[in-house]
Structure 1
Amino acid sequence: MSNINYHDSLLVAPLRIIALNNCKELGEKVNQLIIERRHKALSEAGIRNSSFKMQEYDRDDYLVSYDCPRFGTGEGRAVINQSIRGTDLFIIADTVNYSELFKMHGSISQMSPDDHFMDLKRVIMACGGSPRRITVIMPYLYEGRQNVRMANESLDCAQALQELTEMGVETIITFDAHDSRVQNAIPIHGFDNFYTSYQFIREIFDRNPDMPVDDKHLMIVSPDEGGMGRAVYYASLLGVNMGTFYRRKDYSITVNGDHPIVSVEFLGNDLAGKNIILLDDMIASGQTIMDAAAELKKRGASKVIICATFGLFSNGLDEIDAAYEKGLFDNIYTTNLVHVPNELLHKQYYVNVDMSAYISLIIDTLNHDTSVNNILDATSRIQELVETRLKEQGSI
């Protein structure tokens, strides 16, 4: 945000951030980056006068202290420990952080996504309508996979979005939504869906300096037809081919809430000797992405790099470790937008893509009431990365 003209773009209101306990580390990183960026920008512009101090540019902390204690029955409440009246409040929440615990009837329980979402609503209720504006940053969209009604079933994601806006939330920000059309549930409220493509490509280029970027050596692959749009975008910008797996299901049978896959076909060019970037929005159990990686290696892929915005690993890491030992993939890249266990951070194959700078930029931009269109569309920034890479390898 150092390119903001501080003479022309004042704050909507003094900035405050509540990072729920489920994303405390991410919130602290975002807070520090905003502090450093604003101090630097104001110093470079020679602006340290009282009018900007009144707008609270010059704070040393934007985080708001809060508590969410629980009764012995597991019931909870939220308490905000400082004034937020008239502020531009951003609340950051990770609803899939399974490491958070609470005590109920003397036993320790893991917090579920429902528990986290209820705590988010408690914090909003504790605000009492006093902030000038409330924006919720929920990187992993709560119940984002339950976004379509196929039979007599609940529409959890749509209901959650409506609950938040009815409580006074003006804008909801998320990343790589499973299906961004769910925003139709709140048509007159803000819903911004940001993507992680630039951060992934930059990280892959930095860590693989010798990897050629051309259609003879690189291919983008989606593990299923649902992620084809993402793969097409990457492939178009990198100037390479893409492929996808078509998984035919037996819709006459339901097993554990899903229809079993009866056959898998790869749709794409020859993979022999190519480096593959295998893309998905999330790794849940890991079965789909590992099956795809195994098929890619069978077809002669040289290197398989897995990229997923959210690494949930709901079945643990044992099967992922076993797949790595078998040589089915080379690296897994996921972000810090959701909880990442320490065990995973120390895996040889794992790369954590830090998104804190991106979130701090989004918050800073919105707090100045400036358009986020340039941040939403990373196409030009990715093109610059690719052009630089092609020059380095002598292709242009």
Structure 2
Amino acid sequence: MANSSNDSSSFTRTDLLVLKNYDDKILKPIGPIAIISDQLDSVLSDSINFHLRNRRSITINEHPEQKSIPGYYRTDYRIPVSLERFHSGEGKSIISESVRGHDLFIITDVLNYGHRYERFEQDVSVSPDEHFEDLCRIISAVHGVAKRINVIMPYLYEGRVSRRISRGSLDCSVMLKRLFDLGIDNFLTFDAHDERMANAVPTKNFESTKTSLQLIEALLNEYDDLKIDPDHFMVASADETSIKRCIYYASLMKVPLGLFYRRYDPRLIDKGQYTEQSIKQHAEKKFLGDNIAGKDILIIDDMIDTGKTILECAHQLKRQKARRVFAAVSFAQFSKGINSFDSAYKDGTLTKIFATNLAYRPPELLEREWFCDVNLAKYIALLIDGYNHDAPLSSLINPSKRIHELLNNYKGVSNV
């Protein structure tokens, strides 16, 4: 069975969230917390509630006066919601309990194809578009009642459509504007494909937080024989679009950076099929970087969709005599199945894939030896607690210092 990264590490410490500003008095919460997480995998939903409850217990031990605040500590912060569908596929949302006066957090996984329903006598999964519409229904049902509405969308819906290409649509910008027009107050996502999407709502609170700390920590916990230095380790960008993210990893780990890029040759394409997609399909993937023979390589990308890109990179790296090839992504979709990854693991092409539990993962994936499930439930619980107290979040959202400490501890170097 695949290993799952333990999220109780000292590097996701509760003391990183400081619920104070200019004096020793704890910041007052905005209101009692209410969480709507019906669009999440139930295991992740349970885990977030568990860690939030534990976090509140710690706060009450240090500040007993907080216990007297109505609704501050509860065994379950979740509000049940009915997301029913007619057989035609039309949906509706019914909030089962009152959220009046609450600081509401709606957590949605638009990639959760594990949710299914019957449409015209066919069993179908709920699509990302349908999940988004359900989110809008929930917001419309609570608007004007909840004290504040916060949306946590780990995978940024339509985040790959972040800029206009030719006559294409601007789906992500439209999505963000629609949510804020519906009346939400804060929007939080993880590892946005392009963080410049914040420009679509420049006067609103859009946050994109990194998963790099938890992914690096999972790698180090899994393998105690890694040598994180320029002679034995390298970070590789899966394509040109991931280069900024990879520079961040390579700089903190103080190792070389390699880049995969596509060499385009328009002569290979029929003139009638001359589109950006056809150019990419006919492009030759090339690696740019130092000699990798004998090195461990960490491929970084924001997501695995079909998996074709990661597998292409891994095959090239092994042909160039890489010792082991790892991959770390925030979201693992495997939209064309996992058989090709089974083969890559069996023949030694790919050693391990690290991905967060922020998006739905099917049971068969979690059983694979080559897959490591990185748990971010505790991190989400800390962020919710911080938002509720309107506390400074920079120590949580920017993990650079903690990654530096983590790597030094792994190498046995003092952090002084």
Common topology (TM > 0.5): yes
Of 284, 292, 295, 1:271 maps to 292
Which residue pairs with 1:198 in the alignment?
213
Amino acid at match of 1:94: D
Once residues 282 and 83 of structure 2 are traced to their aligned partners in structure 1, the CA distance between those partners, rounded to angstroms, is 43
Once residues 282 and 67 of structure 2 are traced to their aligned partners in structure 1, the CA distance between those partners, rounded to angstroms, is 65
Once residues 255 and 261 of structure 1 are traced to their aligned partners in structure 2, the CA distance between those partners, rounded to angstroms, is 10
Compared CA separation, residues 73 and 208, structure 1 to 2 (3 A): same
Once residues 182 and 276 of structure 2 are traced to their aligned partners in structure 1, the CA distance between those partners, rounded to angstroms, is 38
Alpha-carbon displacement from aligned partner over 1:31-74 (angstroms, at most 9, x marks no partner): 11111111122124444653x2x2x2221211001101112222
Runs of 4+ in 1 over 4 A off after TM superposition: 255-258
Which residue pairs with 1:9 in the alignment?
27
Once residues 25 and 89 of structure 1 are traced to their aligned partners in structure 2, the CA distance between those partners, rounded to angstroms, is 20
Amino acid at match of 1:172: F
TM-score (norm 2): 0.90
Amino acid at match of 2:87: G
Once residues 122 and 250 of structure 2 are traced to their aligned partners in structure 1, the CA distance between those partners, rounded to angstroms, is 50
Q: Does 2:366 correspond to 1:345?
A: yes
Q: Verify the 8 A CA contact 1:65 1:81 in the aligned structure 2.
A: yes
Amino acid at match of 1:385: L
Amino acid at match of 2:348: G
**Alpha-carbon deviation of 1:265?**
2.1
Stretches of structure 2 lacking an aligned partner (at least 5 in a row): 1-13
Alpha-carbon displacement from aligned partner over 1:327-379 (angstroms, at most 9, x marks no partner): 11100111100001110111011100001011111111110001211111101
Compared CA separation, residues 49 and 354, structure 1 to 2 (3 A): closer
Q: Does 2:200 correspond to 1:185?
A: yes
Alpha-carbon displacement from aligned partner over 1:78-122 (angstroms, at most 9, x marks no partner): 000111011111100000111211112222222111011011111
Compared CA separation, residues 309 and 256, structure 1 to 2 (3 A): same
Amino acid at match of 1:175: F
Amino acid at match of 2:327: I
Once residues 300 and 159 of structure 1 are traced to their aligned partners in structure 2, the CA distance between those partners, rounded to angstroms, is 46
Deviates more, 1:6-15 or 1:191-200: 6-15
Once residues 346 and 27 of structure 2 are traced to their aligned partners in structure 1, the CA distance between those partners, rounded to angstroms, is 53
Q: Identity over aligned residues, as a percent?
A: 37
**Alpha-carbon deviation of 1:258?**
6.2
Which residue pairs with 1:158 in the alignment?
173
Once residues 149 and 169 of structure 1 are traced to their aligned partners in structure 2, the CA distance between those partners, rounded to angstroms, is 25
Q: Verify the 8 A CA contact 2:39 2:131 in the aligned structure 1.
A: no
**Alpha-carbon deviation of 1:310?**
0.4
Deviates more, 1:356-365 or 1:16-25: 16-25
Q: Verify the 8 A CA contact 2:264 2:279 in the aligned structure 1.
A: no
Once residues 302 and 383 of structure 2 are traced to their aligned partners in structure 1, the CA distance between those partners, rounded to angstroms, is 20
Q: Does 2:223 correspond to 1:208?
A: yes
**Alpha-carbon deviation of 1:15?**
0.8
Which residue pairs with 1:40 in the alignment?
58
SS across alignment from 1:265: strand
Once residues 190 and 245 of structure 1 are traced to their aligned partners in structure 2, the CA distance between those partners, rounded to angstroms, is 34
Once residues 225 and 240 of structure 1 are traced to their aligned partners in structure 2, the CA distance between those partners, rounded to angstroms, is 19
Once residues 297 and 209 of structure 1 are traced to their aligned partners in structure 2, the CA distance between those partners, rounded to angstroms, is 22
Once residues 46 and 85 of structure 1 are traced to their aligned partners in structure 2, the CA distance between those partners, rounded to angstroms, is 26
- RMSD over aligned Cα atoms: 1.9
**Alpha-carbon deviation of 1:209?**
1.1
Once residues 298 and 23 of structure 1 are traced to their aligned partners in structure 2, the CA distance between those partners, rounded to angstroms, is 38
Of 302, 306, 316, 2:323 maps to 302
Deviates more, 1:17-26 or 1:374-383: 17-26
Give the number of equivalent residue pairs: 392
Amino acid at match of 1:277: L
Q: Does 2:79 correspond to 1:58?
A: no
Amino acid at match of 1:361: L
**Alpha-carbon deviation of 1:256?**
6.1
